Every structure is written in C-alpha cells, then in structure tokens.
C-alpha cells in the first residue's frame, strides 16, 4: 500500500519514502499536512480544526500523479546527464585532460629540469600522440 506525506506550505510530497518538492500542492486553505501510512492516516489542519482520520488517499491522486511525473522527469534528467558524461568521456579531449600532468607538475618540469621545457614538451606530446584528434 502507498505511504504518503504532504506538507502543503512547503510544497513537499513524499510517496513511498521518496520526497520531492513540487511546483504546486493544492489543498484546502486550512490544511497543513496529510499523513498516510498505507492503511490509515490523518489530515492535519492549521486553524484549530481537529485532525481528521482517513483510510484512503484517492482524494490526493492529482498530487501523487504530479509526484510520479516529477520523479520520472528527474530520472530522465539523471539518465541524460549520465549519457552526456559518457559522451564527453569518449572524446579525445577529455581523455587527454585526464592524463596530462597537473599544472604544478608541468611547471616543475619546465623550471627544475633547466632544459627550456624539453621534458615538459615530451610529456605533453606523449599524451597528444596517445589521443590524436
């Protein structure tokens, strides 16, 4: 059975343990929150009205549908980001960047070897040869 927590003013909705902030949570003006444990729950009011017991969340299907839509959109965005990262990692530029010596090491090669940068140039050339354009 589905569990549900809605905090209206925060626009926070948690369905089956996954909480999300939604763009809108439309409930009566005097509702503070809705809690449901899968079997029973209650509506909490902000105007002194006693809490109301509930045994179903069907009245909140619009909100749970919005939650499911945002959850799916978040999953798609995460998948797209993973695909974009994988595409980036497949490029020669990213591969080169991972293998170049750090800037500090590059400057040390130039300064400490006293050869005008020949060691530095050889290190950079090795990476460029390994990952040609």
| pLDDT in the model for residue 125 | 86
Backbone angles phi, psi at 117, to 5 degrees: 100, 10
- Which is nearest to 1 in space by CA: 22, 23, 17, 21? 17
How far CA 3 is from CA of 9, 17, 40, 48, 94, in Å, comes to: 19, 7, 9, 25, 44
Cα-flanking dihedrals φ and ψ of residue 31, to 5°? -90, 130
What are the residue ranges spanned by the domains of the chain? 4-84, 91-130
Q: For the chain, 133 residues long, give each residue's pLDDT as a single digit of tens.
A: 799 999 999 999 999 999 999 999 999 999 999 999 999 999 999 999 999 999 999 999 999 999 999 999 999 999 989 888 888 777 877 788 888 888 888 887 887 777 667 777 888 888 888 988 7
pLDDT, residue 115, reads 65
> What's the chain's length in residues?
133
State the first-to-last Cα distance of the chain, in angstroms, to the nearest integer. Answer: 56
- Residue 90 has what pLDDT? 79
How far apart, in whole angstroms, are the C-alpha atoms of residue 40 and residue 59? 14
pTM metric for this prediction: 0.60
Q: CA dist 111 to 3, 101, 115, 117, 129, Å?
A: 64, 15, 8, 8, 24
* pLDDT tens for each residue of 2-20: 999 999 999 999 999 999 9
Give residue 60's pLDDT: 95
Per-residue pLDDT tens over the stretch 48-67: 999 999 999 999 999 999 99
């Amino acid at each position: 059975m589905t569990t549900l927590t809605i905090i209206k003013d925060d626009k926070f909705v948690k369905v089956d343990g996954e909480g999300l902030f939604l763009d809108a949570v439309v409930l009566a003006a005097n509702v503070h929150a809705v809690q449901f444990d899968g079997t029973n729950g209650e509506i909490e009011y902000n105007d002194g009205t006693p809490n109301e017991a509930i045994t179903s969340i069907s009245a909140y299907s619009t909100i749970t549908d919005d939650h499911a839509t945002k959850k799916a959109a978040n999953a798609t965005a995460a998948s797209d980001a993973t695909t974009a990262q994988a595409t980036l990692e497949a490029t020669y530029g990213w591969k080169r960047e991972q293998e170049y010596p750090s800037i500090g090491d590059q400057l040390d090669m130039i300064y400490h070897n006293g050869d005008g940068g020949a060691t530095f140039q050889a290190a950079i050339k090795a990476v460029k040869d390994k990952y040609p354009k």
